[in-house]
Copies of this chain bind each other. A is one copy, B any other.
Amino acid sequence: MKKIKVIAFDADDTLWVNEPIFTKTQKEFKTLLEPYLTGDEIDTKLYNAEIRNLRLFGYGVKGFMLSMIETAIELTQGKITGSEIQRIIDLGKEMIEHPIEVLPNVEETIKLLQDQYELMVITKGDLFDQESKIARSGLGIYFSKVEIVSEKNEQSYLNIIRKNNIIADEFIMIGNSLKSDILPVCKIGAHAVHIPFHVTWAHELVETHQIEGVAYQELADISLLPELLNQFLIV
């Protein structure tokens, strides 16, 4: 194994809190619909709308807002009021403006690594949202490159490493999603470290058989990353 030269970090739920903001909004969305209906039907219908709309909207808050509105109209048979729909839009706007909560040990670890490695961010989703979050996180200064892609798959990782003249075996990806941050990276011959987050969007979950035989590392906390990278050197 060669020495790792480039470390790329996922952003949402790796560098800062993201999924809990969606979860909180979804809870408020369910409260809003309580006068019309109850139960878990709302979660299922909303998830179905999100997945159905991914093809047209991609990832991000704006698509989530539109999927909430569609779900509300469908589940109330069109009885939802204009002011209730405005409330859904306002919930979405609050998500976009939500303060960035950098995860514990992230900045300290990145500071430790910045002299020895080239650091990047590779994140998927809405260009406008992600740029805003990177700027507001204050972490932008540590990264030589920020790549915002519409989907994280083998092809998009290949494009990024080719474009930046990176050798796959010298590249390691750090992230919380097995589906987006680990599997496609390992498949192109690069390295990956999984740092699980306490909640994961259902769409990012993978079946056990998909990760069988895939060689990646798992860490409980980002603060353990420098030591892991030192071990890479010895192998």
A residues contacting B by CB (< 8 A) are 56-59, 62-63, 65-66, 69-70, 72-73, 76-83, 85-86, 89, 92-93, 96-97, 126-129, 131, 148-150
| Residue contact B80 to A66, C-beta cutoff 8 Å | no
| Residue contact A76 to B70, C-beta cutoff 8 Å | no
Closest chain B residue to A75 by CB distance? B82
Please name 6 pairs of A and B residues whose Cβ atoms are closer than 8 Å in the assembled complex, sorted by A.
A57-B128, A59-B128, A73-B82, A73-B86, A76-B82, A126-B128
Chain B residues contacting A81 (CB-CB under 8 Å) are 78
Known: A57-B128, A63-B62, A127-B148. A86 touches B82 (CB 8 A): no
Known: A73-B82, A85-B85, A127-B148. A97 touches B56 (CB 8 A): yes
Would you list the 3 A-B pairs with minimal beta carbon distance, nearest first? A58-B128, A78-B82, A127-B127
| Residue contact A73 to B66, C-beta cutoff 8 Å | no
Chain B residues contacting A63 (CB-CB under 8 Å) are 62
Quote the shortest CB–CB distance from A139 to chain B (angstroms).
Answer: 18
Quote the shortest CB–CB distance from A157 to chain B (angstroms).
Answer: 16
Q: What CA separation (Å) do A59 and B128 show in the bound complex?
A: 8
Chain B residues contacting A150 (CB-CB under 8 Å) are 127-128, 131
Chain B residues contacting A148 (CB-CB under 8 Å) are 127
Contact of A82 among B80, B127, B131 (CB under 8 A): B80
| Residue contact A56 to B96, C-beta cutoff 8 Å | yes
Chain B residues contacting A93 (CB-CB under 8 Å) are 56
| Residue contact A85 to B56, C-beta cutoff 8 Å | no
Most buried by B among A57, A77, A131: A57
Chain B residues contacting A70 (CB-CB under 8 Å) are 86, 89
